[in-house]
Amino acid sequence: MMQSDVNFVTRRSPWASAAGFTLVESMVALVVLSIGVIGTIGMCEWAERGLQRGALTTTALALVESRLEAKRSVSWERLLMDDLDQDGIVESVMRDDGMQDDQTNGDGIFTASVTQSHIRLVWTVELNRGHQPAEASLAIIEARAIFRTMGGQEKEIRVRTIRANPRYVGLPVLS
């Protein structure tokens, strides 16, 4: 017999003799997996809140810009009237009476408001002279959207513009 035919002694790994995982190993693996899953769920919830806040903010900004554009496009004489559903019928007349969203009676700031899609939309027109658009040379128009996020935090978006009276020619000259 040749030397090469000698039986080889095989070494076995200590892991090869184990029939499976022990209970302790399984429990440790389960705890590690649970921590990972809980972290993932927390991140998904955080992402969902961010997406919801972003969607509400985008909707609020669109409503504010839409209201501002409606005030910029209406004729000067109808500046204090609102056709909210664009059907040609005035649904709202802005007031300076200190009621609801109007803070002070007689301050020259006319206010109106509406709630759409859980967003409170408030817009104001502040005339620089008098209490009628015909007497003023310009108006500051502001629109605000107030809403609550999923976490209960109140947010506000505010946009302003200035609009000039196209028919204003100046104050009358006194003799």
**Count of Cβ atoms closer than 10 Å to residue 173 Cβ:** 5
- pTM for the model stands at 0.69
Query: How do residues 117-157 score in pLDDT, each as one tens digit?
Result: 889 999 999 998 878 888 889 999 999 999 998 878 899 99
* b/e per residue 155-169 (b: at least 16 CB within 10 A): eebeeeeebebeebe
- Domain positions in the chain are 23-164
Residue with the larger pLDDT of the pair 83 and 112: 112
Rounded-to-integer distance, Cα 112 and Cα 169, Å: 29
Of 26-35, 130-139, 153-162, which gets the smallest average pLDDT? Answer: 130-139
Query: How do residues 49-102 score in pLDDT, each as one tens digit?
Result: 888 888 899 999 999 999 999 999 888 988 888 887 878 788 888 888 877 777
- In this structure, whether the domain defined by 23-164 belongs to CATH 3.40.50.2000 is answered with no
Residue with the larger pLDDT of the pair 175 and 60: 60
Q: Place 161 in a pLDDT band, splitting at 50, 70 and 90.
A: very high
Query: How do residues 6-15 score in pLDDT, each as one tens digit?
Result: 555 556 555 5
